[in-house]
Amino acid sequence: MRPLLVIALLLLVGCAGADGDPGPGSTGATAEPRTEQPSGPDELVVELDRGDGSPVQRWTLVCGGTVQGDHPDATAACAHLGGLDEPFAAIPADAMCTQVYGGPQTAHLTGRWRGEPVDLQLSRVDGCRIAQWDRLGPLLPA
């Protein structure tokens, strides 16, 4: 019985063709990776609360052909973010984070980045959130 199963499997594999032809019933199309271009420049609003009673600071940042906005180090922030794969990725729900307090600072980021909406709350209340904050580098000035 087993030799028949092996022969049947070999016949199925052989149906694809030795020349890479996908076989009968296939359209022959290959999936190309999506390379959608953003609809416009990357635009962010950064709201930073230092947690010390001082007023919340608010900056705009536009990264594209020309760096614009009132962010204190817009050029460095755009260059840094442009080098990150997913700068605004959320921390996974099952992440195990060290219980280290990094300070009372919080930030809220909104806007668009690489054509995707951004709405991210940041803090420094544990190791994961401190790392997330630090990863954004010059976007969140000290």
Residue with the bigger pLDDT between 141 and 104: it is 104
Q: Residue 68 has what DSSP assignment?
A: B
Give the integer Cα–Cα distance in Å for 61 and 70: 7
Q: What is the pLDDT of residue 65?
A: 86
Give the integer Cα–Cα distance in Å for 139 and 123: 14
59: number of Cβ within 10 Å: 19
Q: What is the pLDDT of residue 7?
A: 44
141: number of Cβ within 10 Å: 14
pLDDT at residue 64 is higher than 80: yes
Q: Do the beta carbons of residue 59 and residue 49 sit within 8 Å? A: no
Mean pLDDT over residues 12-27, rounded?
Answer: 41
Q: What is the pLDDT of residue 138?
A: 97
Query: Could you tell me the residue ranges of all domains in the chain?
Result: 54-88+100-142
pLDDT tier for residue 39 given thresholds of 50, 70 and 90: low
Residue with the bigger pLDDT between 51 and 36: it is 51
